[in-house]
Amino acid sequence: MAKLVHPKRALSTNPLKSSAPLGAALAYLGIERSVPLFHGSQGCTAFAMVHLVRHFKEAVPLQTTAMNEVSTILGGADQIEEAIENLRKKSNPAFIGIASTALTETRGEDVPGELKEIVSRRTDFADTQIVYASTPDFDGGLQDGWAKAVEAIIDAMVPPSTERDPELRQVTLLCGSHLTPAEIEELVRMVRAFGLEPLVLPDISTSLDGHVSDDWSGTSQGGTPVARIPDVARSAFTLAIGEQMRKAAKLIEDRAMVPYRVFQSVTGLKPVDAFVRTLMGLSGMQDPPPSIKRDRSRLIDAALDAHFHTGGLKVAIGADPDLLFSLSNALTSMGAEIVTAVTTTQHSPVIERVAADEVILGDLGDFERSAKENGAQILLTHSHGRHAEHRLHVPLVRVGFPVFDRIGAQDACRVGYRGSRAFLYEIANTVQSIHHRARPEEFGAAPIAEEFEHVPHVASC
């Protein structure tokens, strides 16, 4: 059981955290034909957009209410209205997701109230769904912003119902921010293998999976169709992936009495077993499809081959709580030791379940210092960990967001039996890539006498 530690310092060195509005934007991008809109100054959007583009290597539609000095002081309702109008004209989005920023939150705007007024007055906006989430940059990290956006979507679009009339084959898959498009795809594949139809929310696996479409579009190019979102009320069950999705799942239950289960991790043998067991129960299938059973036995074999490299491995990991928990849990179950755990936000009960003595609420500066002090042999964090990698001469496995110095970040899959297998291979191979050549000095042995060494003469042939 880990203790959450707040370092006593004012200076943050090399941030680990990405901001909450960015997380909200990412969640909004998992809705079909959407445009996320930041209610803030231009820069808030520009930085976030560059971050997203560098990670996904895609054009990302992200807009701003472009608050200026005057509108900041007098109120930004006009800016919001104008932004919506312009966005509708330019890209005709089906969905606009608004995320507040530190600027507008500090001013203290009543955006929900103003938005209500705008929507009721502007009947011409009716065919665009507008959702607002309060995501000040100064509270929480990427996964908090994501969770708030998902909650806002459900709050705005799932109607309360008093009667249960479920589609028994439909399940809602609430995806946390730590899942990559390939990971959502893998979970979808598993759910479908049991004859169930997943309704994914939000679904970045069809919008940010990195594909070329036939036409240019100023909105997201895939994602959960807006018309389908109210249907989560009719699902037989809600599968929430990541502790961050608990509130959203609870909200659906409150609204429409849909039972739910939160999966804090779907990486590693036991967590995936639990997921599969739930699918078995939902589908009434005692005998899962052959592909599932085969994948499990292959994961076991991978674990056997990988444990030689993971046993006793000292790991430093820095990530948002849900990712931190699922990856570190998979590694400790393979005999690894988490010597350094750094996370970004305190709003998560999984932190104390991390198998480390302490989890630092900190930055990559803390990460590097602790990894060095504790003799970490492998680093897991996002691309900015490369500086620590170079200075400590310890290999880095890129996980989380952003991964900007490698391509195909959206294709990394570390969930399900298949993804867990790939993850174990990834770790074991990274360990092996550092070739250790034994030297006599390591054992305290004197080097060989010079007399014995061959002095090459000039070849006489």
| Positions in the binding site for other proteins (CB under 8 A) | 90, 168-169, 192, 195, 197, 218, 269-270, 273-274, 276-277, 280-284, 286-288, 293, 296, 300, 303-305, 307, 311-312, 332-335, 437-440, 442-449, 451-454, 456-457, 459-461
Strand order in the sheet with 337-343: 3-5, 358-361, 337-343, 314-318, 378-381, 396-398
Question: Which residue lies nearer to other proteins by CB, 215 or 451?
Answer: 451
Residue carrying the six token digits 């960015």: 22
Give the shortest CB-332-to-other proteins separation in angstroms: 7
Q: Please name the residues in contact with 274: beta carbons below 8 A apart, sequence gap of 6 or more.
A: 263
Give the shortest CB-413-to-other proteins separation in angstroms: 18
Q: List strand residue ranges (DSSP E) for 246-403, in order.
A: 260-263, 314-318, 337-343, 358-361, 378-381, 396-398
User: Which of 225, 210, 232 has the alpha carbon at shortest distance from 158?
Assistant: 232
Give the shortest CB-61-to-other proteins separation in angstroms: 8
Give the shortest CB-296-to-other proteins separation in angstroms: 6
**How many CB atoms lie under 10 A from the CB of residue 211?**
12
Give the shortest CB-63-to-other proteins separation in angstroms: 8
Question: Which residue lies nearer to other proteins by CB, 35 or 403?
Answer: 35
Q: List strand residue ranges (DSSP E) for 312-443, in order.
A: 314-318, 337-343, 358-361, 378-381, 396-398
Give the shortest CB-111-to-other proteins separation in angstroms: 22
Q: List strand residue ranges (DSSP E) for 85-226, in order.
A: 95-100, 129-133, 167-175, 197-201
Indicate the pairing of strand 197-201 with strand 337-343.
unpaired
Tokens for 259, please give them: 């039972």
Question: Which residue lies nearer to other proteins by CB, 190 or 251?
Answer: 190
Question: Which residue lies nearer to other proteins by CB, 97 or 198?
Answer: 198
The Cα–Cα gap between 454 and 461 comes to 18
Phi (first) and psi of residue 163, to 5 degrees: -125, 145
Question: Which residue lies nearer to other proteins by CB, 215 or 287?
Answer: 287
The dihedral over CA atoms of 372, 399, 59, 185, expressed in degrees to the nearest 10, equals 180
Question: Which residue lies nearer to other proteins by CB, 119 or 285?
Answer: 285
Strand (E) or helix (H) holding 424: helix 416-433
Give the shortest CB-308-to-other proteins separation in angstroms: 8
The Cα–Cα gap between 134 and 123 comes to 24
The dihedral over CA atoms of 232, 235, 241, 244, expressed in degrees to the nearest 10, equals 40
Give the shortest CB-363-to-other proteins separation in angstroms: 30
Question: Which residue lies nearer to other proteins by CB, 293 or 406?
Answer: 293
